[in-house]
Amino acid sequence: MVKLSGHSNWPEWIYVGVVIALMCWVGAEAWEAERLVEHVPADVEIIKVVGQQWFWTFEHEDGTKEIGELHVEAGKAYKFEIHSTDVIHSFNIHDYVVLMDAVPGRVNTVWFAPDQPGTHDIQCREYCGLIHYNMRGTLIVEEPTH
Amino acid sequence: MVLELQKPRPIWQIMFSTHHTDVGLLYLILSIGFLFLGGALALIIRAELFLPGAQIIGDAMTFNRIFTVHGTTLIFLFILPFASSVGNYFVPIMIRYKDMAYPKLNALAFWMIPPGGALIWLGFADFSWYANPPYSIISAPGPAADMWIFGLKILGISSVLGAINFIVTILKCKHPDMSIGQVPLLAWSFLSSSLIILVAIPTFAAALLMLLTDRLGVTGFFNPAMGGDPIAYAHLFWFTFHPEVYVLVIPAIGMMYEIIPRFSRKPIHSYNSGIFAFVLLSIVGFSSWAHHMYATGMSFTEKTVFMVGTLAAVPASALHVFNFVATMWNGRIKFSTPMMWAVGGIALFFSAGAGGVANAAMPLDFTTHDTYWVVGHFHLFVMGTIAFGSFGFMYYMYPYVTGRMYNEALGKIHFIMSFIGTILVFFTQHVLGLYGMPRRVFDYPPIPEWIAMNQIASIGAMIIGVSMVIFLANIIHSAGKGKLADTDDPFGVGGKYYYPFEARNPSH
Amino acid sequence: MKSIIGLFLVLAVLVIVPAVDLAFAAGDEPGEYLDRRVIIWNLFFRMMTIAFVVGAVVSGTIIWQVWRFRESHPKAKPTPYEGTDW
């Protein structure tokens, strides 16, 4: 063997212990946060989102359809059911940290609760072809009606 | 020993040679050639993104083709062939054998790369290096996509043949006096990365065939319209290409294991922990593939499993950093160019690894997935760690290959500019990703923060570009006009080098 | 060796126990409108705090030893291996 350790190894053990402890911490924190954000409230309103090359369509629970624009109310919770008709897209409202792939043949869900009126960008974050860069929409959060 | 410039011989003698140093030279020239081709594409991409709107590329299709070929080229035609070059030169010397175990197979593995590369470059496909279906099945145009598939197929076979050769050479051809526990760490790195290749690549080879038959319309493995599942492709792809990340990084770490003790004038701190970390990494590397797919609608349990699998790879990488730091401790370090690259590579290795931990944490995926954060993260690995280790080793093996010394000052300028450029480009891209800019976009809305950060990144890329021109001028000029290297101790650091003139090339 | 076990115990108490505790304590009532921005960005910034602290230690160590152990440093002395065939 090449020089069986003439040096002591305890710093290395402590170092590895610290690294493992840090990774346990990261894992536990991430697990907890993921559990919280995946916890869907009971009274969410469902919005059907359809991604196709290269625009977004939305269908509300009451049957209203919108293209490229989505109107929601502040103070309510919404669950997106995300479909795709052609290739994989990724539905993303970055300001609300909403992201979920639109995979043909599957329905993925993600929920959020907008809290203030305002306008936010919707974009596609998975490469989907020619006009991927401009597969954008607008989220308009309105004042609560009641 | 390859000293073509001092003792010229006809080019065909090198091309048809099966001697390991000749094949190594061919790999080296090919990888440097494709480094500049792929790098030029990167500069075009950065120039295009300097401002919103179309700058120098007319249309999105061309842009998409460029980033696809950029990624494919630099991974499969620069990093992997360069590692093979180093392996060809050094593994037989380190295990004290006259050549690779299968010299003809070795030459064959090399000669599969030019046709593979030609298919990729002549086709210029547009579906990104990930080729994700169903886009790659139903939308990606023409012969380009099929040429890419065949090109990757050929490159994959070449990798597997090379891996078999390295494994047999190291395990079966090492000197009888040498136990496996005495094989130097650089050779160990080739052993572990070759084992990963052997296990990982067949999965992608199968996926490529399925992709091809899907494109022909015969089957529908990944086509939902025919009852297939595109997510199945993602699993097959990442089962190969997450371990492949370790295939890229392990030889680079092995190169650092050669450089750092040499220039610290000390043996490696712990040879055993280096081996342990290599072996551990090549096993644990297979437990993390689906962390690329958190956003595809995986269940909470699946996500948790793959997060734990990913985090488990961190201690193994951290052991290497410890080993490097402990080796330099109490040394008398000579900062020649190779050492500067290696130390810079270690520093950036930490940043890349920390970003990787953040990627593994499931909820952060909502903010970072498929944004420029990811681009910054993996470029910090492939450029900041792997290419830095490789450049360091290019300078380190330069006197061995050419018999002359490169220009030390230019080598240091190359390092400093690349280091600054790398930080400017890839750290900025992390922040840009946090602002939400998606990757693989030809154009972006004129949001002031996005513009500013894209411009910083583009300037950084141009700095790297200039440094690479200096590098090219340096190696070409010095090969003919550089001062002759002291072949026993070219860097003046003493000790027993593995390489000086031990390999006897029958043509000399 | 004892001190290492002690260290791990302290780390376990400091890190793992509160995290597990927290995980099983909060957020189970349905109908709660959690703000995902707050949860996710908080997690992100906590992790970045740790990452930058560790990064400062690691790169600080590397920068210091690059400065201290360079061969031109006034206190540089030959390593025990120089002149041998190690």
What residue segments make up the domains of chain B, in order of their start?
11-481
Q: Which residue in the set A25, A26, A28 is minimally distant from C23, CB to CB? A: A28
Q: Which residue in the set C35, C42, C43 is minimally distant from A113, CB to CB? A: C35
- A86·B139 Cβ contact <8 A: yes
Q: A45-142: which CATH topology?
A: Immunoglobulin-like (2.60.40)
Q: Is A19 on the interface with C (CB under 8 A)?
A: no
Q: What is the 3-state secondary structure (H, E, C) of B134-195?
A: CHHHHHCCHHHHHHHHHHHHHHHHHHHHHHHHHHHHHHHCCCCCCCHHHCCHHHHHHHHHHH
pLDDT at A9: 79
Q: Is A88 on the interface with B (CB under 8 A)?
A: yes
Q: Which residue in the set B265, B331, B351 is minimally distant from C55, CB to CB? A: B351
pLDDT at residue A7 tops 60:
no
pLDDT at B2: 47
Q: How far is the alpha carbon of A75 from chain B, nearest alpha carbon, in Å? A: 22
- C8·A33 Cβ contact <8 A: no
The share of chain C scoring above pLDDT 90, in percent, equals: 44
Mean pLDDT of A5-27: 85
Answer yes or no: are the C-beta atoms of B281 and B245 closer than 8 Å. Answer: no
- B357·A103 Cβ contact <8 A: no
pLDDT at A2: 43
Residue ranges of chain B with per-residue pLDDT less than 70: 1-7, 499-508
Chain B: residue nearest C36 by CA?
B363
B-chain residues within 8 Å CB-CB of C82? 265, 332, 494-495
> What band does C2 get if pLDDT is binned at 50, 70 and 90?
low
- A39·C27 Cβ contact <8 A: yes
pLDDT at C7: 75
Q: Which residue in the set C16, C22, C33 is minimally distant from A113, CB to CB? A: C33
Q: How do residues B434-444 score in pLDDT, each as one tens digit?
A: 999 999 999 99
Assess: ipTM above 0.90: yes
Count CA atoms within 13 Å of residue C74 on its CB side. 0
Residues C73, C76, C79, C84: is their CA dihedral positive or negative?
A: positive
- B328·C47 Cβ contact <8 A: no
Q: Is C56 on the interface with B (CB under 8 A)?
A: no
Report how far residue B108's alpha carbon sits from residue B380's, in angstroms, rounded to the nearest whole number. 32
> Helices B271-284 and B230-264 sit at what angle, rounded to 10 degrees?
170
CATH number of the B11-481 domain: 1.20.210.10
- For chain C, domain boundaries: 36-70
Task: Express the helix, strand and coil content of chain A in percent, nearest 5 each.
Answer: 25, 40, 40
pLDDT at residue C22 tops 70:
no
> What band does C4 get if pLDDT is binned at 50, 70 and 90?
confident
SS3 B203: helix
Residues B12-49 as b or e (16 or more Cβ within 10 Å = b): eebeebbbbbbbbbbbbebbbebbebbbebbbbbbbbb
C-chain residues within 8 Å CB-CB of A77? 33
- B357·C84 Cβ contact <8 A: no
Q: How far is the alpha carbon of C82 from chain A, nearest alpha carbon, in Å? A: 16
